[in-house]
Amino acid sequence: MRTDTLFYQLFNTFHSLLFELIERPISEAEGYEFSSVEVKEKAFRFDGIFSPKAKDKPIYLIEVQFQQKEDFYWEYLSEIYLYLNQYRPEQEWQAIAIFARRSYEPDPRSHVQEMLDCQRIQRVYLEDLLERETDSFAIGIIQLILSSESQAVTKARQLGEKIEQERDTEIQEQVLELIETVLVYKFPKLSRQEIEAMFTYSDLKQTRVYQEAREEGEQHGEQKGLKLGEQKGLKLGEQKGLKLGEQRGLIKGQATMLLRLLNRKFGQITPSLRGKISKLSAKQLENLAEALFDLETIADLSDWLKNKGTK
């Protein structure tokens, strides 16, 4: 699972999440801007940086680790000091190392231990959140990410039921998109329709992907139905047209969701690539969804579309 992409999306959506994780008042999130900053040498990139507008607040340098990596601290310190040298911020800084599980953290060497002791580097273990009762949608999404496949469906439905009580429609949409995204990562072999079926019907009706697919289906269906139906057979024609139209709409909805995921992973996709993706068949779109996790660059995506997407 490409957790760096997911956590970038989480931090970008919920600016208070970092402060929940490090158990600081959520009010401290005010005045911070979140970004992902590349450090030029060796192309190091932080999973996220919270930069304050005020000079009396610290910069938070975030790294998320979802697997064992013995040289984690070596690379993290390299990123930190290269960043400080290149950007030379006026504010104080604090590093936040977020581990999915304690077992993923390597044993820190003595010089790292000193920074841990003085809280210059603060550690967060996400497994501690698994049993936490919370009203936070951001924490709920993390619990979904960490859950097993057998637990994920139940957790997704619980989140879906909870989001129904949210009055802010923008938050509703963002959370449902995040749930869909996590499930796409967890179940890469499932089709979009199968993933949608994991939600309750009322949740599904609210998702942007479903609405776009439904609207497209109705539009195509109405056009096709009018062409097929004459005065006496209009009803039958509309029914056939709606069925064909909804199929086309679902394909477009699947392409829309993939384009959204690709934009979040690589930045804005070029019109040329968008055009190629929009022309893929339902089967090719499913293949691209499975390949998504192995694509590291825009060039990889272009190669995939050239060699596989057009077959």
pLDDT, tens only, 154-164: 898 888 888 88
C-beta of residue 157 within 8 angstroms of C-beta of residue 200 = yes
- Classify each residue of 44-56 as buried b or exposed e, where b means 16 or more C-beta atoms within 10 Å of its C-beta: bebbbbbbbeeee
Return the structure tokens found at 244: 């064909």
pLDDT, tens only, 196-240: 666 553 444 455 544 554 555 455 545 555 455 444 444 444 455
Whether residue 95 is contained in a domain is answered as yes
Confidence of residue 69 (pLDDT cuts 50, 70, 90): very high
Q: Is the pTM of this model over 0.85?
A: no
Q: Using CA atoms, how far apart are residues 159 and 175, in angstroms rounded to an integer?
A: 9
Torsion of CA 83, 84, 90, 91, to 10 degrees: 80
Return the structure tokens found at 202: 């009322």
Return the structure tokens found at 161: 């039921």
Instruction: Please indicate, yes or no, whether residues 34 and 77 belong to a single structural domain of this protein.
Output: yes
Strands 48-52 and 44-45: unpaired
Instruction: Please indicate, yes or no, whether residues 10 and 125 belong to a single structural domain of this protein.
Output: yes
Q: Using CA atoms, how far apart are residues 146 and 69, in angstroms rounded to an integer?
A: 18
Any idea what the CATH number is for the domain that residue 56 is in?
3.40.1350
Instruction: Please indicate, yes or no, whether residues 159 and 100 belong to a single structural domain of this protein.
Output: no
pLDDT, tens only, 138-195: 999 999 999 998 888 889 888 888 888 888 877 888 888 888 888 888 887 777 667 7
Please report the sign of the dihedral spanned by the C-alpha atoms of residue 65, residue 139, residue 209, residue 47: negative
Q: What domain range includes position 278? A: 207-309
